Amino acid sequence: MTPTEIKKMKNRNKEFYKDEMVEGEDYVICPLCSIRMSMIKSTHITNRHKMPLADFDLSYPNTQKICKNRVINIKNGLAKTDENGLTKHQISVAKAQVTKNAIGEDGLSIHQKIGIKTRNTHLRNKDENGLNGYQRIAKVARPKQIKTMARNGDAIKPEERHQWLCYRNLCIWLTRATRAPLLTDDMILGRAGSTSGNVQVDHEYSVFHGYRDGVSPFDICNIVNLVVLPWEENVKKNRKSSISLDELLQRNNTTMEDSKKEYDLIIKLSAGIPQDNRSSILLYEQFLEESDAEICKKRRL
């Protein structure tokens, strides 16, 4: 920020420079420009100081970004209602929606114009590495999202990626070996985005949930867990399961203990599979070699 910009902001926030004002209670101080304000907004950091939020949080991790009185005022404002039971916030949101959705002479609403402007700004503003605004946001947000999802059981932990890929690839290979009785001559297998009417073979108890819950890939890929769906439906289903784990085990006539035993062996063997060639055939053959005679007889294709 230039000295002139700092002077203007201080003048605009002069109420926070009164003697009775208390830091933390009535105002906070931006560590970059030392200006007092009720709240250090993200736009102040990114627009005024040209600094990514992630860098600010890393450089000033203990900085108070909003004063206590502003928090109280926000809460009080949110709690008050009018004769219709609406808070000021709800009223302002409703008015803003009407204004932003009104179609202008150019055929676009304010909401659409803001979206176009925001998109163009993000695409235009590239950093020294050639990353645009969206890519910079994703670079920071995506790893955090993956960690949160992994912690909640909705994604694979980065350190488990190799064993997950070995498990998934084995499931794909086993499914191709067992799906034939489900397919008729008039069915055309197709990838997502292919011709409408093409189908895919889906796992009712999903491969992802099978890995997460310690289920043998042989139980996941048994024909009793397979169903043919239009590719559009399979894409919508994604990683979700359409049956419970108990139903899967019942269909396979097995127990969780027996299924987990096979799963553990597959995971153990996956550590020895090269990362540059995750061979499902090699993993399958090693599984048969390490298993007892009864399992070999049961699982040999």
SS3 sequence, the chain?
CCHHHHHHHHHHCHHHHCCCCCECCCEEECCCCCCEECECCHHHHHHHCCCCHHHHHHHCCCCCCECHHHHHHHHHHHHCECCCCCEHHHHHHHHHHHHHHCECCCCCEHHHHHHHHHHHHHHHCCCCCCCCHHHHHHHHHHHHHHHHHHHCCCCCCHHHHHHHHHHHHHHHHHHHHHCHHHCCCCCCECCCCCCCCCEEEEECCCHHHHHHHCCCHHHHCCHHHEEEEEHHHHHHHCCCCCCCHHHHHHHCCCCHHHHHHHHHHHHHHHCCCCCCCCCHHHHHHHHHHHCCHHHHHHHCC
Asked if residue 59 lies in contact with residue 18, where contact means CB atoms within 8 angstroms, the answer is no
| Structural domain includes residue 186 | yes
Strand partners, 226: 203
| Structural domain includes residue 258 | yes
| Structural domain includes residue 136 | no
| pLDDT above 90: percentage of residues in the chain | 67
Structure tokens at 259: 């299924």
Highest mean pLDDT pick, 20-24, 93-97, 191-195: 20-24
Domain final residue pick, 69, 86, 112: 69
Domain count, the chain: 2
**Cα(237)–Cα(243) distance, integer angstroms:** 12
| Structural domain includes residue 48 | yes
pLDDT tier for residue 181 given thresholds of 50, 70 and 90? very high
Domain final residue pick, 69, 91, 115: 69
CA dihedral sign, ordered 260, 282, 225, 230:
positive
Give yes or no for residue 229 having a pLDDT over 90: yes
175 and 63 in one domain?
no
Summarised one tens digit per residue, pLDDT across range 284-299 is 999 999 999 889 889 9
**Can you say whether residue 235 is alpha, beta or left, with left for phi > 0 and alpha for psi between -120 and 50 degrees?**
alpha
Mean pLDDT taken over the chain: 91
pLDDT at 142: 86
| Structural domain includes residue 88 | no
The pTM assigned to this predicted structure is: 0.59
Asked if residue 230 lies in contact with residue 197, where contact means CB atoms within 8 angstroms, the answer is yes
| Structural domain includes residue 122 | no
pLDDT at 157: 87
Domain of residue 62 covers 3-69
Domain final residue pick, 35, 69, 103: 69
284 and 171 in one domain?
yes
| Structural domain includes residue 41 | yes
**Cα(170)–Cα(242) distance, integer angstroms:** 21
Torsion angle of C-alpha atoms 167, 173, 178, 181, degrees rounded to 10: 130
173 and 271 in one domain?
yes
**Cα(47)–Cα(33) distance, integer angstroms:** 13
pLDDT at 90: 82
